[in-house]
Structure 1
Amino acid sequence: MDFFVALLCVFILSLSLSLHLLFYKQKSGVPLPAGSSGWPMAGESLQFLATGWKGQPEKFIFDRIAKYSSNVFRTHLFGSPTVVLCGPACNKFLFSNENKLVQAWWPSAVDRVFPSSTQTSSKQEAIILRKMLPDFLKPEALQRYIGTMDSIAQRHFATDWENKGQVIVYHLTKRYTFWLACRLFVSVDDPDHVAKFADPFKLLIPGILSVPIDLPGTPLNKAVKASNFIRKELAAIIRQRKVDLAEGKASPTQDILSHMLLTSGPNGKFLNELDVADKILGLLIGGHDTASSACASIVKYLAELPDVYEGVYNEQVEIAKSKAPGELLDWDDIQKMRYSWNVACEVMRLAPPVQGAFREALTDFMYNGFSIPKGWKIYWSANSTHKNHEYFPNPEKFDPSRFEGFGPAPYTFTPFGGGPRMCPGKEYARLEILVFMHHLVRRFKWEKVNPHEKIVVNPLPQPENGLPIRLFSRHQSSTSDQGVAFVHHRAPQL
């Protein structure tokens, strides 16, 4: 009996969606984009996710562009009718109309995992946070933290990489970027304290992108519990920081936490403790997940491309030679890492840490002769340009020279989004990635344990098996031209 009731519900929902599409077309007189609604309720979500799981996230996009002969097509993703916009013209239109025709949209689980103490939505919280961050994340403000990044990177490699015959890269890049985020956002530097945060953080993203069922044992339920635990820990840190600031034991510029406590919001009021905890929690996630994906992908491509590795190595050695013993990296050193950053950009073109993002239509509007109804979701895809031969000739070839001179055409290279919602942490990410590359190539060469391991998307790009590699320590005399010696440590079994 239950089966037939469920079947009837699915039929009614499917019929309702079909009638909605037909009615809307008749009402507006303007066609919706061509496309398919897929299966009842599920839509085409499984096909969308499966191409990423197989390491070909662009396939979902390009198959439909070919089928519908348009850079605009209709689908149904994560419970909502969705229009996919592809190409630089679409990107420019979408990015330029932020908070005019469209607004950011996230799955409903986001508000469950990150409840706001002010009862505002995640969209409103994001707007407030973006207005508070620019002063801290602009290049001139970040310059003072490069030495701290360098120190943490040295400790990270000494602790987690040195004297190891074999490591799993993705685990370590996540540890590196999370350590940096904890230190620079809330001045938590003790490894035990960082580890206390790290374990529950692993539960957050899977919970957000899971089936939205909050029952004991489900990913969403685990994520909600992890979020509550982290927010309580952050609240304790915030209370102590307020005392330390009042007593002069903490600096107003030492991290983002101090910046938030001493900066008033758009209404002229200062944030309360729980409100600050909400925002720091979001920043800790955004500050390390995407960068750790990029760093792991860099390790993969440098293992596969010895000529590219040597180019990065030579650049970083020249920078190291210009430093006095024990002297930390500074802003001028970062500016010299041009080839290394071109390599990182080419990695992010082939494996963009942010594959795309959703928007929601604020009103009915037309684009390219098609009608986009109010409330529909809109998805833009980085791969629609990154992997398109029209904008990047021979797109599967790894070629850092694409980023020399003026670089790619506008709105074709979008690993950090664009327009008003350009990632505010872009410069922060550039610094942590380049500092990572500086120490990585000067200390090691390496080889992949599985030469055929690929990058999959789940939900961020990541090596299919975490990227186990064999390490070879690299030693070079700084006072002679004796060349480079490699010492291979025996690799233990994983």
Structure 2
Amino acid sequence: MDLTILLGLTITFIVILITKKFQLFIISKTCSKKQLPFPPGKKGWPLIGETPSFVSSPKKFILDRMKTYNRNAFQTSIAGETVAILCGPAANKFIFSNENKLLKFWLPYSVSKALAQQNANPNSNSYKMADEIAHKFLKLDNIQKFVGTMDSMAQQHLDTFWVPSLQVKVHPLIKEFTFELSYRVFVEYFNPNLKSLKELRDPFFEFIEGILSTPLYVPGMPYYKALKASKIVQEKIFEMVEKRKNKMGNDDHDHDQIDGDLLGRFLMVRDEDGSCVSKEDIARVIVGFIFASFYTTTTTIAFTIAYLSKHPHVYDKVLQEQMNIKRSKGEGEQLNWIDVQKMKYSWNVICETMRLKPPSPGGFKEAITDFNFAGFHIPKGWKIHWSAYSTNMNPKYFENPEKFYPSRFEGSGPAPYTFVPFGGGPRMCIGKEYAKIETLVFLHNLVTKFKLKMVNPNEKIFYNPDPIPVDGLKVHLQLHS
């Protein structure tokens, strides 16, 4: 055989051999990446997935699937997305500590659109300015200044809507109070215009009703109504921005009366180039803050009242703590931050309420890269959900989890990452202190004024996915003598 041909065949054989070895290497690497299985579970119906079950019965949804598939992780389909639900304190720690590393914040598009978030540009200067101002505004050193306002508003609300009645529907009344307070703090602190408040409140309540419904943009459907109402809310905020700008331009104003609320802060701040926060970003933050503050605190306050009315011995301990604070105040003297810090048992009661009736069932993230958790593979692009119910109702972390027992929060309290009503990590709820103060101040005024008794201790609760009492939580009132 010619030496040239022999050499050519040898080289060809070597090339084929190297190619085969390289292919086997690639295949082995690919297999090693996929050697872990996806979390077990099912996707449900086309398009809607298991969204209706998740929204209407979140506790049962989570606990049943943890039992059926895996106690650490399972997969489902929510809002048209494949979702891995990671469960337990290890999952909470993993999710909160990997923000912007393996995961990023995510909202279903239908919710994001209703909350005026869908067109936001996180890289814009206006977006960054808005978020920086908002975070500073909700820091404790600023929020504690509102304790007196919260106190006087709670007194006025109870005297106007509760005192004249022998029986009230707690849930709708608390919605009115928490919305008005949010409006004062975020939109118009000094001399609030009640007409403007109502014009914002009515469409806001309407869009809240349909924001988490099946996202069908069809006339007459709840989500269609929610988006129409959301647009009205944004337009109302745009109008308020222009009115405030004109007022600031025409009046000799007191600086403190301009930045008393969040809207004023937005309008006063300029960056190095003289640019200001856009009206779209102002609306984005204010809509988000009002939604988060009034929606979740309404749930917490309402169900705290329900539990107090059903557990007289707990009510008596809260009353004793709050009366000690009240006796330390002078006639007409308002509560302050020091008083709020003394409400330790009352806060335990509120925490136990949030454990049993979470104001938010959890949070969503998006995987920004492939990762493994608890023996399962999670691909990039999958959505991730952490659930309050996976720990709150687990007897391993909370003995007799169905029992209302506030004293479980005494001392060092629950184990780390088992009770996270405000999330954790870089995306921990920035309104935590606002919610805590508002809830405690309202509770102080309520128990020092009334004895409470549930009309129907077994009133049914439906979920959307937050708990909502079917009949508004009817309560008998009796003024303290």
Same fold (TM over 0.5): yes
Aligned-residue offset at 1:264: 4.7
Judge conservation of contact 1:94–1:102 (CA < 8 Å) in 2.
yes
**8 Å contact 2:51–2:77 — kept in the other structure?**
yes
The equivalent residue for 1:333 is 339
* 8 Å Cα contact 1:32/1:372 also seen in 2: yes
What is the rounded CA distance, in whole Å, between the counterparts of 2:185 and 2:97 in structure 1? Answer: 32
Which 10-residue stretch deviates more, 402-411 or 79-88? Answer: 402-411
Separation (CA, whole Å) in 2 of partners of 1:363 and 1:267? 36
User: Is the aligned partner of 1:89 residue 2:90?
Assistant: yes
- Counterpart-to-counterpart distance in 1, 2:217 and 2:32: 39
Which residue of the partner structure matches residue 222 of structure 2? 219
Deviation at 1:388, TM superposition (A): 0.7
Superposition pairs of residues 138-287 of structure 1, within 5 angstroms = 138-187=139-188, 189-246=192-249, 247-250=251-254, 251-264=257-270, 269-287=275-293
**What do residues 332-373 of structure 1 show as CA deviations (whole Å, max 9, x unaligned)?**
111111111111111111111011122111121111221101
CA distance in 2, matches of 1:163, 1:82: 49
| Worse overlay, 179-188 or 287-296 | 179-188
Match of 2:352 in 1: 346
* Closer, same or farther: CA 128–362 of 1 in aligned 2, 3 Å: farther
Give the letter for the 1:459 counterpart.
P
Q: Secondary structure at the match of 1:390?
A: coil
Report if the CA contact (8 A) 1:297-1:347 is conserved. yes
Gap regions ≥5 residues in structure 2: 1-29
Name the structure 2 match of 1:444.
450
Separation of aligned partners in 1, 2:273 and 2:106: 24
Distance 1:167 1:315 in 2: 25
Task: Give, as a single letter, the amino acid of the residue that structure 2 aligns with 1:383.
Answer: Y
- TM-fit CA distance, 1:311: 0.7
Which letter maps to 1:431? I
Give 1:125 shift. 9.4
TM superposition score normalised by structure 1: 0.84
How far off its partner does 1:404 sit? 1.6
Partner of 2:4: none
Judged with a 3 Å threshold, the aligned counterparts in structure 2 of structure 1 residues 65 and 265 are, in CA distance, closer, same or farther, namely farther
Deviates more, 1:316-325 or 1:462-471: 462-471
* Number of the residue aligned with 2:400: 394
CA displacement at 1:124 relative to structure 2? 11
Matched, 1:300 2:306: yes
Superposed, which structure 2 residues align to 1:104-143 within 5 Å?
104-115=105-116, 120=121, 129-143=130-144
Q: Counterpart in 2 of 1:486?
A: none
Q: Secondary structure, in 3 states, of the residue corresponding to 1:287?
A: helix
Structure 1 CA distance, aligned partners of 2:178 and 2:468? Answer: 15
Q: How many angstroms does 1:446 deviate by?
A: 1.9
User: What is the rounded CA distance, in whole Å, between the counterparts of 2:438 and 2:50 in structure 1?
Assistant: 36
Q: RMSD of the alignment, in Å?
A: 2.5
| 8 A contact 1:298–1:347 mirrored in 2 | yes
Tell me: CA distance 1:314–1:126, structure 2 relative to 1, closer, same or farther (3 Å).
farther
SS in 2 for 1:288: helix
Matched letter for residue 367 of structure 1: F
Where does residue 417 of structure 2 map in the other structure? 411
Note if 1:379 corresponds to 2:385.
Answer: yes
Structure-2 change in CA distance of 1:431 and 1:368 (3 Å): same
Unaligned runs of 5+ in 1: 1-23, 476-494
Q: How many angstroms does 1:459 deviate by?
A: 2.6
Q: 120-129 or 179-188, which moves further after superposition? A: 120-129
Contact conserved, 1:150 with 1:329, CA < 8 A, in 2? yes
- Is residue 107–residue 208 contact of structure 1 (8 Å, CA) maintained in 2? no
Distance in structure 1 (CA, Å) of the matches to 2:354 and 2:456: 22
Aligned CA distance change for structure 1 residues 67 and 113 (closer, same or farther; 3 Å):
closer
Partner SS, residue 173 of structure 1 = helix
Match of 1:457 among 458, 463, 471: 463
CA contact (8 A) 1:117 1:278 kept: no
How far does residue 284 in structure 1 lie from its aligned partner after superposition?
1.4
Q: Secondary structure at the match of 1:414?
A: coil
Quote how far apart the aligned CAs of 1:267 are: 9.4
Q: In the aligned structure 2, how far is the partner of 1:146 from the partner of 1:393?
A: 35
Q: For the structure 1 residues 210 and 124, does the alpha-carbon distance in structure 2 shift closer, same or farther, using more than 3 Å as the test?
A: farther
Match of 1:42 in 2: 48
What is the CA–CA distance in structure 2 between the aligned matches of 1:221 and 1:466, rounded to whole Å? 25
Aligned with 2:431 (options 411, 425, 435)? 425
SS at 1:242's partner residue?
helix
Equivalence for 2:472: 466
**Per-residue deviation, 1:297:** 0.4
Alpha carbons 1:261, 1:271 under 8 Å: kept: yes
Deviation readout 1:229-269 (Å, 9 max, x if unpaired): 22222222222323444434253431111122233579984
In the TM superposition, what is the alpha-carbon distance from 1:220 to its structure 2 partner? 2.4
CA distance in 1, matches of 2:201, 2:352: 29
Size of the alignment, in residue pairs? 447
In structure 2, relative to structure 1, the CA distance for the partners of 1:276 and 1:160 (3 Å cut) is same
Shift of 1:118: 6.1
Is 1:70 aligned to residue 71 of structure 2? yes
Q: Does 1:322 align with 2:325?
A: no
